[in-house]
Every structure is written in structure tokens, then in C-alpha cells.
Amino acid sequence: MRQLWYFVRRAAVSATEARRHRVDARISLIFCAFVSLWPIFFLLTGTPLAAQVRDLGPAVIMNGDFGDPSIVRDGDDFYMVHSTGGIPAFRFWHSKDLHHWQPIAAALERSYGPWAAELIKYKDLFYLYDYGGGANWVMTAKDPRGPWTAPVDLKLKGIDPGHIATPEGKRYLYVSKGMAVELAEDGLSALGPQRTVYSGWDYADDWVVECLCLESPKLVFRDGYYYMVSAQGGTVGPSTSHMAVVARAKSPLGPWTNSPFNPLIKTWSRSEAWWSKGHGMLIDDGHGQWFIVYHALENNARRKGRQTLIEPIDWKDGWPVRRYPDGMKFRPQVIRNWEVRSDDFTGNRLNLQWQLHGMDSLEGTRVTDGKFYLTASPKDMRMLAVKVSDLEFETEIKFDVQGEVEAGLVLAHRSGYLGIGWKDGQIRNPTGSSYRYSDEIDCPDCRCLKYRLKDNEITAYYSADGVAWKKYPRSYDIDLFTGFGGLKIGIYALGTGNLGVDSFTYRR
């Protein structure tokens, strides 16, 4: 009897467990189906996937010299542009989630020295406002990929233009020193003179800054208020100088009230990981989340230039405030949207990583038969350059020349350049800085040059075949370069004749 009861109870337990396992299996099946099908659900409901993962935390989204960012949202697409040097000018980037970006086009193939642009969309047109050559300019396109119209001179003074359109359709352009002017409805001319509408935010007298330097007005309209984010404190002075401050007004021309939570962005100590944080602008994702995008210099990596950062913000009492810790605790993730890449110059045009310096148009350049050609100038060093993306790297070129041309590799900066070159059968050390030493070494067949940046030291090499390398006797410390801007890797030509580059090799 006892054994019979044991078997009956075991059978009941087994039946219960079987039912439980069937329920667990159904739950697992439902869960797996949800995980597999939720993207389709969100697509059918019209909610973009990128909008579902809004807070990725603070991030570096351009890990190179990409200062003065300007971003515009067009539906679920985001487009970004930065200050530029060289041509093609104004490289445009595209993203779906504000964190991962791809280059798509460049706006200008002829340069007037453009800087610090404002990219906006008004009605069916994109507008690019920028400062260069002592004037403010504007050009338009139906798509950031182009084609863009020729730049129009707005005949306005001031730098770092910022744009806003009212709900009624009035348009205004703001520039440095708190000046603003109303624009014509087409945005291509000013209505009346500029006037000062904002005087900035009063920071403490004992703050270590470069100057007041009120600039970079970037505006948004939200909940009946116009919000203006401005840069103050100076761009590349002390590490604690640059900042972004916020003011708001009911009218686009003021009066403006400063935020009680100013500054929105700032470096507080030289010991922080990021210096000179500033030049910020607010952007929303179209689904309720807001971000601040700005530039900053990385501590102990200043040579990479002003990198672009993004972080989410919240709204408190009608004002934007940072969501994540400031100061020493601020540690953004790095998303490597920018990476220098090797190039064998296939196709019929340069890829978007390159810009030309020392010339104001692309005339005298071409890409054909797997080679890049550049006509040299006897007066100015012409250079094909790419912005540095890493602190340590090695790069080499294989080339040839026609005519009386000096050619080679340089690390270039606003404060100068140095590298390794070849002319008239001799290896030499081109310099455009306080160091002007050069050892000339006979090597008639050397058409392969290389330099390496490692442990802060620049070491150069030369070769006739790209296999057996000899070290150039002079090396340098990278700290030779200081000041504003980031390093560029340059392939240069100087003289009368042509340079032909077969390959550019880059290794992190």
C-alpha cells in the first residue's frame, strides 16, 4: 500500500512538473518571439529603432580635430559639419542615432578660408552659414550631399553665425559679441543693420579664463522660449577657460535671461580628462530626448585638436542641465567615427578623408589609374592632408616626381611642420618651425618615405624599394607643436613640376 501511494504521488508530481515545463516553454517562446519581432513592431508603428536607445551616455563622436560642430535634424536623419581648413571644405556627416556617423559629402571645392559654420534646414532647403575671409556667407542645397549653390556674401561682420526661425516664419542670424540681424525670408540677405541683443553671462572674477570672447550663438525654440547657447572664456587659452552658457527669451531679440545653472559645459580643473569644453549647441532626437554637442581638447592629447563630444541633458525648471557627473568623474566613451585609412587612389576622385592645403581650388589635381597627381608650386608648399586620428601611428608613401620638385611626408600644424622629403636625389628634412636643421643624404632612387610617431617621438625613414629602410639621423619630440588646431599627416610638393603618389599606407 505504501509503495502504491509513493507511485501515485510521483505520477502527480511528474504531471505538475510537465505542466510547469510546458508553461515555461511557452513563456520562453513568447519572449524569444518578442525579441525577434520587436524591430518589426516599431517599424510598423512608425517609431525608428534609433529612438529606442536614446541614452548612451557621454561620448566622443569625432576623435580628431573636428571643432565648432553644428548639427541639424531632418526627421530621423542627423547631419553634422565642423570648422574646416583646406579643400574640399565642409565635410558633411550623417547619422541615425547621433552617435555613429558616416561622411557623405563636402560642400566647397574652392575656398575663401571658411570657418565655424551653422547648418540648418528651413522649409525645403538646407542652409550653410559660415564665416571666412572677413565676411559671413550662405549657400543652399536640397540635400547635404549637394549640389550646393555658390556662396553668397551677406555683408555682415562677426564670427560663428547661428540661425533661428520663429513659428511665424521670421528669420534671424546671430554672430559673436551678442549681435543679431533679421534676414530676408529666403535667408540670403539681411534686413537692416546688425545690433547687439545680448551681453553674455558674468562669471566669477577669479576664474582662470582667456577672455570674455562671447561667440558661437546657437539657438533653439522650445515651449514658447528661445534658448541661446553661447561660448565664453576663450577657445585655446587656459584649460579652464572655454565654456558654454545658456540664456532664454520670449522674443528672438531679447531681453535675455541667463540660466541659474550656468555654465552648462565647462572644465573646472586642469586635472580633468577633457580641457577647454565649450562651443555647444542643443539638439533633440525628435522623441523627447535632448543632447548638448560641443568640442573639447583631450588632456595629454592636445595635438589631436578639438574633438566633438555629445552628452544627454535634462530640463529643470525650464532650463537645460547636464545628466551625468561633471569634473573629474566625467569619462565619455570613445566612438571611432574618424579613422585615418590607407589609400591606393583607385577611382577618379579623392575619398573624403583628404583635404588639400596651400591652394584655393582643386585645379592641378587629379586621381587616375590608381595614382594621385598634384601640380607643384614654386612659391607655396601644396599638401594633400588628413587629420590625425591616433596618438601613435606609422605612415609611408610611394611616389615619383616629374620636373624640379621636392616631395615627401610631413606632420603639419598651424605652428609649423616637419617630416622627411626628397629632392634632386637627396633625402632631406623639411621644416617650417623653430627647428630648421637638415642633413642631406644621397639616395637617388629613394621614392619610399616613412615616419613613425611613438612615445611622443617622430622618427623618419627612407627606402628605394619599400622593404629595406634606413633611419634618418634626426628625430624630434612632438611637443614641438603647440597652440590652436590639431596635427595633420601631409603629402607635400614644392617646386616646378608634378608629384605622383602611388600609395599611402597607415598603421595605428
323-330 mean pLDDT: 92
Q: Which of 165, 216, 203 is nearest to 187 (CA)?
A: 165
Amino acid 191 reads L
Q: Residues 473-507: pLDDT tens digits?
A: 989 888 776 667 899 999 999 999 999 999 999 99
Q: Choose between 438 and 356: higher pLDDT.
A: 356
Q: Are residues 84 and 231 in the same domain?
A: yes
Strand partners, 428: 421
Among 16-25, 80-89, 276-285, 417-426, the range of highest mean pLDDT:
276-285
Q: How far is Cα 97 from Cα 130, in angstroms, rounded to an integer?
A: 26
10: left (phi over 0), alpha (psi -120 to 50) or beta: alpha
- Helix (H) or strand (E) holding 429, with range, is none
Which residues pair with residue 411 across a beta bridge?
Answer: 418, 489
Residue 313 within any structural domain of the chain: yes
pLDDT tens digit string along 384-405? 999 999 999 999 999 999 999 9
User: Three cell numbers at 111?
Assistant: 575656398
Cell representation of residue 370: 590608381
Range of the domain at 236: 49-334
Q: Give residue 482's pLDDT.
A: 64
Confidence of residue 436 (pLDDT cuts 50, 70, 90): low
**What CATH number should be reported for the domain holding residue 269?**
2.115.10.20
| Residue 174: per-residue pLDDT | 98
Provide the β-strand partners of residue 366: 373
Query: CB-side exposure of 152: number of CA atoms within 13 Å?
Result: 15
Q: Is the pLDDT of residue 5 over 50?
A: no
Q: How many domains does the chain have?
A: 3
- In a domain, residue 242? The reply is yes
Structure confidence by residue, pLDDT tens digits, 284-295 = 999 999 999 999
Last residue of a domain, one of 304, 334, 364: 334
Sequence-distant (≥ 6) Cβ neighbours of residue 196 within 8 angstroms: 177, 178, 179
The band of 433, judged by pLDDT with boundaries at 50, 70 and 90, is: low
> Taking Cα atoms as reference points, which of 190, 86, 94, 93 lies closest to residue 137?
190
CB count, 10 Å around CB of 492? 25
Distance CA 495, CA 499 (A): 10
**Mean of pLDDT values over 14-23:** 43
Same domain, 151 and 251: yes
Banded pLDDT at 305 (limits 50, 70, 90): very high
> Residue 284 has what pLDDT?
97
Between 37-41, 141-145, 204-208, the lowest mean confidence (pLDDT) is in: 37-41
Give 417's strand partners.
412
Residue 361 DSSP label: B
Global model pTM greater than 0.95: no
Q: What is the pLDDT of residue 500?
A: 98
> N- to C-terminal Cα distance for the chain?
80
3-state helix/strand/coil string of 450-472 = EEEEECCEEEEEEECCCCCCEEC
Do 273 and 384 have their domain in common?
no
Report the alpha-carbon angle 58-202-207, nearest 5.
70
pLDDT, mean over the chain: 89
Q: Is the confidence at residue 43, as pLDDT, over 80? A: no
Residue 476's pLDDT is what?
A: 87
Checking if the pLDDT of 33 tops 90, the result is no
Average pLDDT over residues 33-49: 40
Single out the residue in 300, 334, 368 at which a domain terminates: 334
pLDDT confidence tier of residue 123, bands split at 50, 70 and 90: very high
Tell me, yes or no, whether 226 and 279 share the same domain: yes
Strand ranges, E, within 47-123 = 59-62, 70-74, 77-81, 89-95, 101-108, 114-122
Is residue 330 domain-shared with residue 364, that is, in the same domain?
no
Query: Cell digits for 301?
Result: 592629447
